[in-house]
Structure 1
Amino acid sequence: MSDIHLVKLCVGADSLDDLLGWERARGDISYIHTRNRPTRWEELLDGGSLYWVIKGVILCRREIVSFDEDADHWRIGLRTRNILTEAQPRRPFQGWRYLKPDEAPRDIVEGETDLPPDMQRALKEAGVW
């Protein structure tokens, strides 16, 4: 299990629904692009995740599966399945930040959430739950 994770702002998303909507049409793996590869990239491949910050709050994570160089940038391969987490506030930042596992928000297991039933239903339909 990884000793480190990444935290990244989900630019352009106003809600978790926005992120889920963008990813419905993708396959098992999708990619985000970054100019620089994280220095601790090899550790991230050992069970690391990317935690998405949406409107100042971590709401979900995705497992990191690869780092690939592509022309003048790096692609971070992520499993398309989002794993909901407890909400954790984050201040604005640029790029990414590392996150220690003991500081990461806990995953939300189905039935343990205070989300409204219609949001739970939408998450199930999107394949997140």
Structure 2
Amino acid sequence: MSLHLIKLCVGIDEFTQLAQWQQRRLHALAADGKPAFLSHITRMTPKRADALLDGGSLYWVIRGQIQARQRLCAIERFTDADGIGRCALVLDPELVRTVAQPRRPFQGWRYLKSEDAPADLDQ
């Protein structure tokens, strides 16, 4: 069974807004001649990275409900310009709609067991 992450999608009001924002980001990176991939930067590195990369996804909470997910492709540690350790959660560009599932606010990311994850809408 896969292990997943769950994260609040702050500043986004609906699924289509997240999809459009990510597409603009990919186009901007490509236009700047940078590698065009999606990632979410976090301060804390998941200790269970191997389990997450074995089919895990990042589930997005939009306006109090899990509404989308993206497969986790890589978890990369790095040090930013200020010398602070960070972690990049590299995401598959395919954004998948899920069955809406209510979720209370929380800080950072949390682990999400497969049995607690909502199904994809197209299933």
Q: TM-score range by the shorter chain?
A: 0.7 to 0.9
Cα deviation, residue 29, structure 1: 3.2
Normalising by structure 1, we get a TM-score of 0.79
**Residue 108 in 1 paired to residue 108 in 2?**
no
Normalising by structure 2, we get a TM-score of 0.83
1:74 aligned counterpart, secondary structure: strand
**Residue 89 in 1 paired to residue 102 in 2?**
yes
1:24 alignment counterpart:
23
> How many residues are aligned here?
109
1:127 alignment counterpart:
none
For the residues of structure 1 that align with 2:41 and 2:61, how far apart are their CA atoms? Answer: 16
For the residues of structure 2 that align with 1:52 and 1:105, how far apart are their CA atoms? Answer: 11
Which consecutive unaligned segments of at least 5 residues does structure 2 have? 28-35, 80-84
For the residues of structure 2 that align with 1:35 and 1:52, how far apart are their CA atoms? Answer: 18
For the residues of structure 1 that align with 2:98 and 2:50, how far apart are their CA atoms? Answer: 24
Percent identical? 45
**2:15–2:97 contact (8 Å) kept in structure 1:** no
For the residues of structure 1 that align with 2:22 and 2:110, how far apart are their CA atoms? Answer: 23
Which consecutive unaligned segments of at least 5 residues does structure 1 have? 113-129
